[in-house]
Amino acid sequence: MNLIQTLLLSVVEGITEFLPISSTGHLILTSNLLHIQQTEFVKSFEIIIQLGAILAVIVIYFTKLLSNFELWINIIIAFLPSAIFGLFFYKYIKMYLIGNSLVVILSLLIGGIVMLLFEHFHKANSQQLTAKSFVLVGLFQVLSMIPGVSRAFATIFGGMVVGMNRKDATEFSFFLAIPTMLGATVLDFAKSDVSAWSAVDSRLLAVGFLGSFVTAYIVIKWLIKFVQTNNFNIFGWYRIILALLFFLVFL
């Protein structure tokens, strides 16, 4: 993987991490387009650069995250299902799912259809949020372990199901990404042979981290404004069209 490919992947990550279109899926498909071999380092790279995007959340919402203890309790509760499933299924996910174009294409297609159906039938219904509500959001997030599902898609719609409005569900999706991506990165470091990475690999990681941070910062600011006056139908159609295009190209 060279510098140009690294920059392209980092921009794709920064754009797609918080949009309901699957950052992992886009990274895998972009890697295929760029003819980047799915080595163990590349798979780790695609996980680790997500931390750059997460740092953008911390910078933008630093005051709120620092001062709101109840928010952190809710984040931890929602994170627990992913932590448990991740520990048990990490090896299988990395070996068989990450890097699998067919899985990504099917997930994008099915997710797009589900998104359009959800937007058509869902009726806003404000409810009192409890610990059970946040566990349910966490269970929705578990679905995003399948490449192409989209963590943002799963958690935003999970939040709306339990009674959050679109803006609050979107912001909670940002916050829940913090422990989720941090946990995924720590787990990947623990399970990977980091000593085999070269100095060039480390520099590429640094470039990818910075690129995803800058791009994600811009996208987060835009998305919060977007969701206050729009639904997600455009992303549903985008997922379907992209899946069909990649199906024709790769399969």
What percent of the chain has pLDDT above 90?
50
CB 50 within 8 A of CB 23: yes
pTM assigned to the model: 0.85
For residues 101 and 32, give the distance between their C-alpha atoms in angstroms, rounded to a whole number: 8
Helix (H) or strand (E) holding 146: none
At which residue do the structure tokens 């409810």 appear? 127
Long-range (24+ apart) CB contacts under 8 A made by 89-92 are 89/145, 90/187, 90/191, 91/191
Q: What is the DSSP letter of 17?
A: T
Q: Is the pLDDT of residue 39 over 80?
A: no
> What does residue 231 show for φ and ψ, rounded to 5 degrees?
-95, -170
Instruction: Provide the pLDDT for residue 250.
Output: 65
Q: Give the distance, in angstroms, between the CA of residue 174 and the centroid of all CA atoms in the same chain.
A: 9
Q: Of the candidates 94, 71, 28, 37, which has an alpha carbon nearest to the alpha carbon of residue 242?
A: 28
Return the pLDDT at 150. 86
pLDDT of residue 227 exceeding 70, the answer is yes
Side-chain half-sphere of 48: how many Cα atoms within 13 Å? 25
The predicted structure's pLDDT at residue 90:
65
Q: Exposure of 119 by Cβ count < 10 A (0-12 exposed, 13-18 middle, 19+ buried)?
A: middle
Which stretch, 18-27, 60-69, 141-150, 185-194, has highest mean pLDDT?
Answer: 60-69
Alpha carbon distance 223, 170 (integer Å): 9
